[in-house]
Chains A and B, each alone.
Chain A
Amino acid sequence: EPEVTQTPSHQVTQMGQEVILRCVPISNHLYFYWYRQILGQKVEFLVSFYNNEISEKSEIFDDQFSVERPDGSNFTLKIRSTKLEDSAMYFCASSVQTDTQYFGPGTRLTVL
């Protein structure tokens, strides 16, 4: 069964450093999303992406964040200058033309 994959599974970085989180959505899916979950808190929407552009973004998704689909398979989330409060589990998700979003296993980002 096809699934969303994410790399790395765990990323440790120093405050102020740039990180890129990578995702490979399910191959026939057209809509892509990033969510994050701070430990002990709700899963929060960050951004949705369709047809090579951002469809919707949350207040969390400020100028420090960017997304890209550099080729036909990868979908990336970049954080330019990480802060301590960016420490969280980041989930990528994808969907066809339905509301059912399938989630990847997540990348745990730890900012020191």
Chain B
Amino acid sequence: EDKVVQSPLSLVVHEGDTVTLNCSYEVTNFRSLLWYKQEKKAPTFLFMLTSSGIEKKSGRLSSILDKKELFSILNITATQTGDSAIYLCAEVGAGGTSYGKLTFGQGTILTVHP
């Protein structure tokens, strides 16, 4: 059974700090790894990673995948209170004929204080 583990489970920082969120996975047939941000309700898409070593970047957020060591990190620089959310990592399976059952980690709760 595919497994995704995130760490830390929660993190409290002050505005301006840089944070690194971790995601490790154990999967039978890896296709890609996704990061989502969940605020009040729906997870909103951040990044999709398929290749090792290629950094994806969007503003203050960046992410990279290591397929040899089976992990990914999400970095947020110069954090703001609006970054407070649950950050979810999900692995896309290669099972069946579907385009990707997502297996989610338990999430990292990030709290940014002013």
Partner-A contacts on B (CB < 8 A): 31-32, 34, 36, 41-45, 48, 88, 90, 92, 95-107
Contacts and interface: CB of A to CB of B under 8 A. Distances in A.
Given A45-B103, A106-B42, A56 B98 contact: yes
Contact of B104 (A42, A50, A97, A102): A42
Interface residues of A, number: 28
B43 A48 contact: no
Interface of A: 4, 31, 33, 35, 41-45, 48, 50, 55-56, 58, 89, 91, 93, 95, 97-106
Determine the main DSSP class of A at the interface with B.
Answer: strand
A99 B98 contact: no
Contacts, number: 73
Given A43-B88, A105-B41, A99 B101 contact: no
Given A43-B104, A100-B48, A50 B97 contact: yes
A99 to B, nearest CB: 4
